């Protein structure tokens, strides 16, 4: 991994004038992602992010923390114990420089078992699950990290709207794979990251998978095609 996302975050923190990140997927064209977007304050976040941060409690693991904006709000504004987790070394270095007290640079699947009251996966948090084939693996890993009475707050987007429709309203969905499985590409400073497998889930697919892995599922909020979901242990 070249860590281009981390490089952009690092450059923004130190210079405030980085190049924009360019992103694209296997079903969409190149789009600009201003790095400043990753450094937003609470008031600049969307309603799903704000709701998740308001619902977070106890000891929190911020999975895919990026520049650490969610962790900073929870630590500094709400006085909660939060650990920022990301597999990008440069992103985690910026989290430390911004004052986040607890950080871990690791892949979630390699994280030693430790219990948290809230597991936070935001900004299309289901993306890290990669595909339907690995979805159960990640959900089971999250269960091992969840303390008794704890919650997982995770958002996603149903990207069905990105597919073409025929004259009768039918949707052209690719054969052989789930329509929310995409390859995700990051470009920065004329360099390109190795493609990432990324998973966007519709609510019903997430609900069924989570219930099959021992979770109770509650849709907390919806904003157009995006939604925030809370998972809790079904046995409690």
Q: Where are the domains of the chain?
A: 4-159+174-233
Instruction: Report pLDDT for 166.
Output: 65
For the segment 208-218, the average pLDDT, to the nearest whole number, is: 98
- CATH topology for the 4-159+174-233 domain: Rossmann fold (3.40.50)
Among the ranges given (41-45, 89-93, 132-136, 164-168), the one the predictor scored with the smallest mean pLDDT: 164-168
**Phi (first) and psi of residue 66, to 5 degrees:** 60, -125
At residue 67, the pLDDT reads 98
CB atoms within 10 A of CB 192: 13
Residue with tokens 């600009």: 32
Q: Render pLDDT for 56-89 as a digit per residue (tens, 0 to 9).
A: 999 999 999 999 999 999 999 999 999 999 999 9
User: pTM value?
Assistant: 0.95
- Give the pLDDT band (50/70/90) at residue 117: very high
Q: Which residue has the higher pLDDT, 174 or 107?
A: 107
Q: What is the pLDDT of residue 198?
A: 97
Closest CA to 25 of 150, 183, 208, 215: 183
Quote the pLDDT of residue 116: 98
φ/ψ of residue 222, rounded to 5: -140, 140
Residues with Cβ within 8 Å of residue 224, at least 6 apart in sequence? none
Mean pLDDT of the chain: 94
The pLDDT assigned to 174 comes to 73
pLDDT of 162: 85
**Given a cut of 70, is residue 104 above it in pLDDT?**
yes
φ, ψ dihedrals at 50, nearest 5°: -60, -45
Tell me the mean pLDDT in the region 95-105: 98
């Amino acid at each position: 991994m070249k860590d281009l996302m981390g490089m952009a975050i690092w450059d923004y923190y130190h210079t405030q004038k980085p190049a924009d990140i360019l992103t694209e997927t296997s079903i969409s064209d190149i789009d600009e992602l201003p790095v400043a977007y990753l450094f937003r304050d609470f008031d600049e976040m969307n309603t799903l992010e704000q709701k998740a941060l308001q619902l977070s409690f106890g000891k929190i693991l911020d999975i895919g923390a990026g520049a650490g904006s969610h962790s900073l709000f929870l630590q500094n504004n709400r006085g909660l114990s939060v650990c920022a987790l990301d597999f990008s070394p440069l992103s985690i270095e910026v989290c430390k420089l911004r004052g986040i007290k607890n950080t871990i640079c690791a892949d979630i699947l390699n994280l030693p078992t430790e219990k948290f009251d809230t597991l936070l996966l935001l900004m299309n948090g289901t993306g890290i699950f990669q595909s339907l084939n690995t979805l159960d693996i990640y959900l089971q890993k999250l269960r091992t990290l969840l303390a008794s009475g704890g919650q997982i707050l995770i958002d996603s987007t149903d990207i069905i709207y990105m597919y073409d429709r025929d004259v009768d309203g039918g949707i052209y969905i690719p054969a052989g794979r789930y329509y929310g499985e995409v390859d995700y590409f990051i470009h920065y400073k004329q360099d390109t990251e190795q493609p990432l497998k990324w998973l966007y889930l519709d609510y019903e697919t997430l609900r069924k998978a989570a219930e099959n892995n021992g979770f109770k599922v509650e849709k907390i909020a919806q904003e157009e095609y995006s939604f925030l979901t809370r998972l809790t242990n079904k046995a409690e």
